[in-house]
Chains A and B, each alone.
Chain A
Amino acid sequence: MSVPVRVVTLLVAFAAVVVGAVFIVAHYVVGSPPTVDYTSAASGGQVNVVLQEDPQNNSSSKPDWVSYYVMKPGANPMQASSWVHTTLLKVPANTQVNMTIYGYDGCTPPRNNFWTQVQGTMGGTVTVQQFKNPGKPLGPVVTTPTINGWAHCAVGHTFAIPSMHVFVPVGSPNASASLCGSSPCVSGPYTLEKFSFRTTNAGEFRWQCFVPCGGGFLDGNGGPMATLGYMTGQITVVG
């Protein structure tokens, strides 16, 4: 092999390694889901944040992973374009955060039924209402300190910010009905859940689901449970 050919081969191989390394860093290390910024939507010391959790997603290379979605501030929750496939939020400090969660996923019992207790919300309760479809309530609005995930099998996932001591079970719709099969969900049965909590200091706070809903992964806590953008995320509290 001639010297020029060797040099070119070496350069090509080197370039391939560099490109591969850059791709890995950009894709797996640096790359992260987008952040939905709610700071400018705050008014009067309050901000309204809307999430939904779905039995699958149509927004990634892992369509069989359960996933949360975050709604753009002030958007219409019944329009698919309103939702962002992410779990990264930004909210202001010292603010009352009014959470609304659309629970489209079916019952998946928590491993520890203790997580069906509502903790850290204002009043220590959540308000829950089931819907057959948007605009078609299945039951009344109920304010409750617990949603039993075992005996009643009424919990799909949880929304928890451990460092803020916020632990909230998210109700599930009737799973014997036809669950939403296309995400972000804007139709199908769901549970509408509302609660509020207060942010204090600025900082980064992880949040996660405590239901081991990573089907097919070790102890159910791998896959979507351990991946930003699906069932775990971070809340950036801006001072």
Chain B
Amino acid sequence: MSESTAAPAATEPRHGVRIVVIWAVLAIIADVLIWTVWRPHLPPGRMSVEAQGQQYDIAVMAMLCAPVLLFIWTYFAYALINWRQREGDEEDGPPIHGNTKVQATWITVTAVIVLSLFVFGTVELIVPAGAGAGEGPSPIWNPSGITTADAQAVSPPAWTPGGKNPLVVQAIGQQWAWTYRFPQFGGMETTTLQLPINTEVVLHVTSLDVIHSFWSYELGVKADANPGVDNIAFFKPQAMGSFSVRCNELCGIWHGAMFNYGHVVSQAAFQTWASGVQAKEQADGLLSDLPAYALTYDPTVIPQLGKDIVKVAGITGANGYYYPGPQAGTPGDPVSP
């Protein structure tokens, strides 16, 4: 007759249910707080439709991540409190064996999360026509009413306040500044960027020298500027105010200083500003001095020059090679009336 010395097993609480309940309560609270309190303050703000879309994406991602994070924290906290080694307890813990149900649940849940993120991310990239990112010279995702051919047009139809045509802006990067050309305003060029509110903008980004990257944080727009490449991005400003434009590609000694500020203004104010700049550049003769608006520029070609370089004796800079300068008093001399 054998004698059992083991004490009767105490009834174990249902730890799994407890953990899930605690986690579910915390996750719901966290997601409600993220959506109602945090989301309005998440970057990059709501200055453009694309920026608002990115803010929505970040909020959704945060709401997905919070339950995962909280589950880990909840489990660890629960384990530390309930399964810690108590004083005098010298007994080994129970051996761990595989658990098919847990493993299957883990694989299923993580697979669903990852695949959902893939679908969500793809939809959020395609539906807002690239979500403010550069799509290259032949964009395949276009805003409603704009075809790829429209976006690539060198002579886009005129933009007018309240009209349906998008505004076309070209951002030109060069060491170390951004300039902007407006083909619908005679190809005028500026160092500051003004944009009309509630207008679809077709942004063409290119470079005259090394690789730069147009990045406007507030507008949610980012597109690399490669020499000889037209990189097209779409966005629609929806709130007036200031925004920054920075270079986001290390491009030389003054890369850190390659930024300026732009403004989203009313459509009427933009029309006034753009027409004013165009008129001044017309009057100054600059418009005729600029090359015709093009999607890219070859910086090694200066067709207006039409002159051969000459060797200047005794000069070491540039190996002594210069273009012949103006003759005072002759046609084309800039310093004679």
Contacts and interface: CB of A to CB of B under 8 A. Distances in A.
B317 A142 contact: no
Given A112-B172, A178-B312, A179-B315, A153 B208 contact: no
B191 interface: yes
B222 to A, nearest CB: 21
Interface in A173-213: 173-176, 178-179, 181, 191, 206, 208, 210, 212-213
Contact of B260 (A112, A162, A222): A162
Contacts of A129: 335
Contacts of B322: 106-108, 175, 179
Contacts of B321: 215
A154 B336 CA distance: 12
A178 B334 contact: no
Contacts of A119: 191
A42 B277 CA distance: 34
Given A144-B334, A175-B312, A219-B175, A153 B191 contact: no
A123 to B, nearest CB: 12
A232 interface: yes
A176 B315 CA distance: 12
- Overall SS of chain A's interface: loop
Contacts of B319: 64, 215-216
B317 A55 contact: yes
B324 A175 contact: yes
B5 interface: no
B324 A107 contact: yes
B171 to A, nearest CB: 13
Contact of B312 (A106, A150, A213, A226): A106
B93 to A, nearest CB: 55
A219 B315 CA distance: 21
Interface in A122-159: 128-130, 138-140, 142, 144-148, 150-154
A130 B328 CA distance: 8
A112 B328 contact: no
Nearest to A139: B328
Contact of A153 (B209, B284, B315, B323): B323
Given A106-B322, A106-B325, A139 B316 contact: no
B257 interface: yes
A20 interface: no
Given A109-B305, A111-B208, A179-B314, A174 B191 contact: no
Closest CB pairs A-B (n = 3): A106-B322, A139-B328, A181-B314
18 contacts: A107-B325, A108-B323, A112-B179, A112-B297, A112-B299, A113-B291, A116-B286, A117-B284, A140-B335, A148-B285, A154-B335, A162-B176, A175-B322, A179-B314, A213-B317, A215-B317, A219-B210, A225-B175
